[in-house]
Structure 1
Amino acid sequence: MSDPFECVKDNLNILDVAERYGIEINRQKKALCIFHTEDTPSLSFKNNRFVCFGCGAKGSSIDIVMKLFNLEPIEAVKKISDDFSLGLDLKTDYTANMEQIQAHREDQAIVKSFQKWIDKTYSSYAILAKHYIENMKRYKPVLDDGTYHPKYVEAVHRLPTINFILDVLFEGSDQDKINLYKDLAIKGGEKAVDE
């Protein structure tokens, strides 16, 4: 019998294996890395192998299945053989864990949805910041007589909060962004800024 590891590598495209188990691959043949948490795809596929430019992980389709299902190498080959009907005769037992596959797909959907929220929120707050900056310039008091236009006052009070939100969305850690999401989208802090 030929080497089952080489059989898997020679007969299957790593992209097909990755997608079968819930990894969403974009047109540039990149995906969110399964070896660490990230917002931007850094897992790259080329020549039937993968490499992550974020954490340095690299390997074959077998390594992906080992990571996703917490399997030993021979168990991963057995799973791939069964799922892709390769007919390899391997002496190991495992049960396909569809719950794990579904959980991984759900996690990817959450990350994708969260990234869309970040992009949309950043865009909205950037427009709002521009509006308040324009109001500060337009309604800036000429004389210091103690009277200020309401739009100038509003801009002076709200712009620091908006700039803080933009900074978190642009440069913040994943945890900072999650906390901001909880404050804005879940607790309703967004309304307080927009009103």
Structure 2
Amino acid sequence: MLRDEDIELVKSEVNMRMLAEHFGIHVNRAGQALCPFHEDKRPSLKVHSGYLDHDGYYCWACGAGGTIFNFVMDYCNLDFEAAVKYVAAAFGIRITEEQELSPEEKSKIAHQHRMRELNAELDTMYLKALSALAEKIQFYENLKQVVEPFEGLFCWLCNQLPVLQWQWEELYEEIYGQKGMMRHG
């Protein structure tokens, strides 16, 4: 059983922005992000990163909203007590509840945490690959503008550009799919 003091301690130590970034959700400077609860192509999730009463999230598109604990409950499919324990464990906050986490709960939290870390690394690798392809396409486009039309290099560039653009589009689809969100996680 959790004590109210434990819940308040966790709320005072972790804000919604920290929690969103823990789950690999990029929050821009305006406090907006892609909502993980529906197909979102433009940021519709507003993240309030104050503490205590002014902390939480709200999606203008799907209506999802609440506290850091509501977010974890919905995102990880946990009950309230497990959500509080998850946040405490994920951010290294010691709570003095009467019962310790069961080995099964500890294992589940550790597994979820590791999966989030791996997904964040995978996101970074995919985005670097997309960026490198985009830079190569831009370089070829710029080079095409300065070489003489119909010379060997010009023709080679004209042949390479559609292939690179196709590769970029395929990689983009592999990463984001039709939903416009990372497929894993």
TM-score, reference length from structure 2: 0.60
The question of 1:76 aligning with 2:83 is answered yes
Q: Distance in 2 between matches of 1:40 and 1:109?
A: 23
Once the two structures are TM-superposed, the CA of residue 86 in structure 1 deviates from its matched residue by 4.0
Q: What is the identity, as a one-letter code, of the residue corresponding to 1:66?
A: M
Q: Distance in 2 between matches of 1:105 and 1:54?
A: 28
Seen in structure 2, the aligned counterparts of structure 1 residues 150 and 92 have a Cα distance that, compared at 3 Å, is closer
Compare 8-17 and 41-50 and name the one that shifted more: 8-17
Q: What is the identity, as a one-letter code, of the residue corresponding to 1:59?
A: G
2:14 corresponds to: 13
Aligned-pair RMSD on alpha carbons? 4.4
Once the two structures are TM-superposed, the CA of residue 80 in structure 1 deviates from its matched residue by 4.0
**What are the superposed Cα offsets for residues 82-127 of structure 1, whole Å, 9 maximum, x if unpaired?**
6523435589967222111111111122112211221221011111
Contact 2:16 2:67 in 1 (8 A): no
Which has more radius of gyration?
1
TM-score, reference length from structure 1: 0.57
Contact 1:33 1:41 in 2 (8 A): yes
- Structure 1: which 5+ runs fail to align? 141-148, 179-195
Aligned mate of 1:139, from 135, 138, 149: 149
Contact 1:52 1:58 in 2 (8 A): yes
Aligned mate of 1:45, from 22, 44, 47: 47
Question: Partner of 1:95: helix, strand, or coil?
Answer: helix
How many positions carry a matched residue from both structures?
165
Seen in structure 2, the aligned counterparts of structure 1 residues 69 and 40 have a Cα distance that, compared at 3 Å, is same
Aligned mate of 1:151, from 146, 153, 170: 153
Q: Distance in 2 between matches of 1:152 and 1:65?
A: 54
